[in-house]
Amino acid sequence: MKINISGHHVEVTEAIVDVINSKFEKIANHFPSLMTLEAILTVDKNSQKIEVVTNYENQKVAVSAADDDLYVAIASSVKKLEAALQHRKGVLKANLKNRYEVPQSELVADA
């Protein structure tokens, strides 16, 4: 999975890149169909924010997290993104199940 990292009012250091890559590695293992991930780091006066955007099964999935510490915000965004992707995966499975369900009228006619 390719991770594009950009910073707004923050210098993206090697340490930040390493932490982001290691944290999002778990998501790459659980969702191998993810090709790219866009991470935008923003530093405001008293808060550090990360916004993560990806495309999963033709649907845009975006999460953001903010904290005083950038590393805590990164960890929080990983949890949020994993939950959002699990939700999207569940929706897709539910739609797939409903699509191939046998109508009740066909079951009664066979009896």
| Alpha carbons 82 and 77: distance in angstroms, whole number | 8
Write down the pTM of the prediction. 0.79
Residue 18 identity (one-letter amino acid) = D
Confidence at residue 103, expressed as pLDDT on a 0 to 100 scale:
60
CATH 3.30.160.100 fits 2-110, yes or no: yes
DSSP 102: P
Model confidence at 100, pLDDT cuts 50, 70, 90, reads: low
- What is the mean pLDDT of the segment spanning 71-86? 94
